[in-house]
Amino acid sequence: MNWPGPILTDSGGYQVFSLGDLREIREEGVEFRSHLDGSRHFFTPELAVAVQDALGSDIAMVLDECPPYPSDRSYVLTSMERTTRWAERSRQAVTRKDQALFAIVQGGMYRDLRERHARELTDLDFPGYAVGGLSVGEPKELMYETLEWVTPLLPKSKPRYLMGVGSPDALFAGVERGVDMFDCVLPTRLARHGVVLTLDGRLNLRNAVYARDFSPVSSECECPACKSYSRAYIRHLLKANEILGMRLTTVHNLYFLLRLMADIRTSLAQGRFKSFHREFMCRYQEAEESTIQV
Amino acid sequence: MNWPGPILTDSGGYQVFSLGDLREIREEGVEFRSHLDGSRHFFTPELAVAVQDALGSDIAMVLDECPPYPSDRSYVLTSMERTTRWAERSRQAVTRKDQALFAIVQGGMYRDLRERHARELTDLDFPGYAVGGLSVGEPKELMYETLEWVTPLLPKSKPRYLMGVGSPDALFAGVERGVDMFDCVLPTRLARHGVVLTLDGRLNLRNAVYARDFSPVSSECECPACKSYSRAYIRHLLKANEILGMRLTTVHNLYFLLRLMADIRTSLAQGRFKSFHREFMCRYQEAEESTIQV
């Protein structure tokens, strides 16, 4: 793959459980039919570890079940207990010394279940913990509340990872609640649709208003797209379906979010996170949902 | 556009004349309706120069008419005479000193018309000459024969440019007949379909046979795709519609053809073009048409 940086792989559980009628969950694992060719597959916690072991990522994720929102309490409880047993089996299946397997806290939007699952998994002593089952369509405020139940119970000395979150407002909210890591398709998916993130919010470069706008996406951005290309030119590329258009918007959006996280870390080190948060959001005025997940 | 090398722009004539019923040719220029939104446009030789002037390319092309193959002699003659008058008007319209406007020799597959047009245009003293109206569906041997009528009449001191040609066998055949420059969508179009050029001919990387082939596209190639990625990985990217797949095959094919032309220039300088041609084609065994044009 030729990527020189650290690599995180997910278990594929989220994708399997999204298949709906095409999958059947049993204690041993999950059986599913491919939506592409109908072929049958049986996926177990051990197989998810073995696949990620073969991929050689730096961080691997356990196979968990991510219940949809909303789900009733009894279903979430049954699913969560199985996810704990699967986490234990996954930990037993680890063979690599150079790969960190993270557990994933579930429990839906039920406080006692979330707290119980966080304790069960921390007792199993994983090298890192993710909060799963959020950013799946619930109101943002409910996501933040759930996060506040869970993160205080996770060890401060280990990475705490909020899955499926990537909009600037939710990144700030996550960091505020103790989250260290995020992942999200938001920057790249938006980019492929011609939407770029700037300090003044989102712009849709496909709009006609940019047809003769020869300024960069952002004059404050140092990314390769902003240093060498105009909004008008990128718009032309997007309208003509030239691949370079999507590449430039993707490069810009990734640069923007990585830069934002670097600025957040600096503000934390300098004890001015709250004021940075306020100033950034005041300008950004993010109005949209952050709940986009693969 | 951020391209540091020389840039050549075409007049758009080929695209306009390909519109068929949507366009009407008059002495003044060509009127056409957009196949996208039905809007009406009137394109003249002067406008084609002005547009390319504004684009600021290093080499611009005159607006010519490229008759389809086959076309009857009387039509080709009428069209060719108008193309000469348009070339004269184009030359008068040039204002930039830093842009070379090339004329385009037409005349269909008629030897006397080709010779007459080559003379008419060389009398007008352009800084470079293209051979147009070839690689439009005619048999390859007829293309080579036509080329042999034209290139001896074009000044050796100026670039001779064969439009729409890019397959290795046709590049050799063109150079053999005095051509200095080519353009073609072949390497990039093939790449987008997963086809790569190698010293052993074309490979379609989408084929199942490459699913577990962890060797590079070509072990003899120094391009970024071959230095860092395997056939199996590029195939995976292509099958998953990951943009990187098409980028890697595109980078490889452009590198392959640029390297081939560099090797051809070296062989010419060393007086061993004929043996290089024979050795290359013996291995390459190109069986396909070279006649792909935008």
Render pLDDT for B7-47 as a digit per residue (tens, 0 to 9): 999 998 888 888 888 899 999 999 999 888 999 999 999 99
Which residues are B182's β-sheet partners? Answer: B162
pLDDT given at position B190: 98
Does residue A10 have an active-site annotation?
yes
User: Are B160 and B134 contacting, i.e. CB atoms less than 8 angstroms apart?
Assistant: no
Residue A195 in tokens = 């939407």
What's the mean per-residue pLDDT of chain B?
94
In this prediction the ipTM stands at 0.84
Q: Confidence band (pLDDT; 50, 70, 90) for A182?
A: very high
More confident residue, A16 or B5: B5
Q: Which residues in chain A are closer than 8 Å to B233, comparing Cβ atoms?
A: 1
Which residues are A131's β-sheet partners? Answer: A105, A162
Which residues are B23's β-sheet partners? Answer: B32
Task: Say yes or no for a CB contact (<8 Å) between A2 and B246.
Answer: no
What would the pLDDT profile of B158-178 be if each residue is shown by its tens digit? 999 999 999 999 999 999 999
pLDDT given at position A120: 98
Q: What percent of chain B has pLDDT over 90?
A: 91
Q: Which residues in chain A are closer than 8 Å to B246, comparing Cβ atoms?
A: 243
pLDDT given at position A285: 79
pLDDT given at position A15: 87
Please tell me which residue in B64, B125, B180, B183 is annotated as part of the active site: B183
Residue of B nearest to A230 (CA): B1
Number of A–B residue contacts, CB under 8 Å: 12
Closest CA–CA distance from residue B32 to any residue of chain A (Å): 20
Q: Which residue bears the tokens 């996770």?
A: A154
Of the candidates A131, A143, A135, the residue with the CA atom closest to the CA atom of residue A180: A131
Does residue B98 have an active-site annotation?
no
Q: Which residue bears the tokens 């079940």?
A: A65
Beta strand pairing call for A201-204 and B195-198: unpaired
CA A171 to CA A175: how far, in whole Å? 6
What would the pLDDT profile of B168-207 be if each residue is shown by its tens digit? 999 999 999 999 999 999 999 999 999 999 999 999 999 9
Rounded mean pLDDT of A281-289? Answer: 72
DSSP, collapsed to helix, strand or coil, labels residue A153 as helix
Q: Which residues in chain A are closer than 8 Å to B247, comparing Cβ atoms?
A: 243, 247
pLDDT given at position A108: 96
**What pTM was estimated for this model as a whole?**
0.90
What would the pLDDT profile of B98-130 be if each residue is shown by its tens digit? 999 999 999 999 999 999 999 999 999 999 999
User: CA–CA distance from A32 to each of A48, A68, B262 (Å)?
Assistant: 14, 17, 53
pLDDT given at position B121: 98
Pure H helices in chain B: 13-17, 45-55, 73-93, 111-123, 140-150, 168-176, 186-192, 224-228, 231-239, 243-269, 273-284
pLDDT given at position B18: 84
Closest CA–CA distance from residue A60 to any residue of chain B (Å): 20
Q: Give me the sheet containing A100-105, strands edge to edge.
A: A8-9, A59-61, A100-105, A129-131, A160-163, A181-183
CA A170 to CA A165: how far, in whole Å? 7
Residues 6+ apart with CB under 8 A from A261: A171
Residue of B nearest to A227 (CA): B2
What would the pLDDT profile of B48-106 be if each residue is shown by its tens digit? 999 999 999 999 999 999 999 999 999 999 999 999 999 999 999 999 999 999 999 99
Pure H helices in B94-161: 111-123, 140-150
User: Are A249 and A196 contacting, i.e. CB atoms less than 8 angstroms apart?
Assistant: yes
Task: Say yes or no for a CB contact (<8 Å) between A1 and B233.
Answer: yes
User: Are A163 and A105 contacting, i.e. CB atoms less than 8 angstroms apart?
Assistant: no
Q: Which residues in chain B are closer than 8 Å to A243, comparing Cβ atoms?
A: 243, 246-247
Of the candidates B177, B182, B179, B205, the residue with the CA atom closest to the CA atom of residue B257: B182
Closest CA–CA distance from residue A178 to any residue of chain B (Å): 34
Q: Confidence band (pLDDT; 50, 70, 90) for A94?
A: very high
Closest CA–CA distance from residue A36 to any residue of chain B (Å): 11
Q: Give me the sheet containing B100-105, strands edge to edge.
A: B8-9, B59-61, B100-105, B129-131, B160-163, B181-183
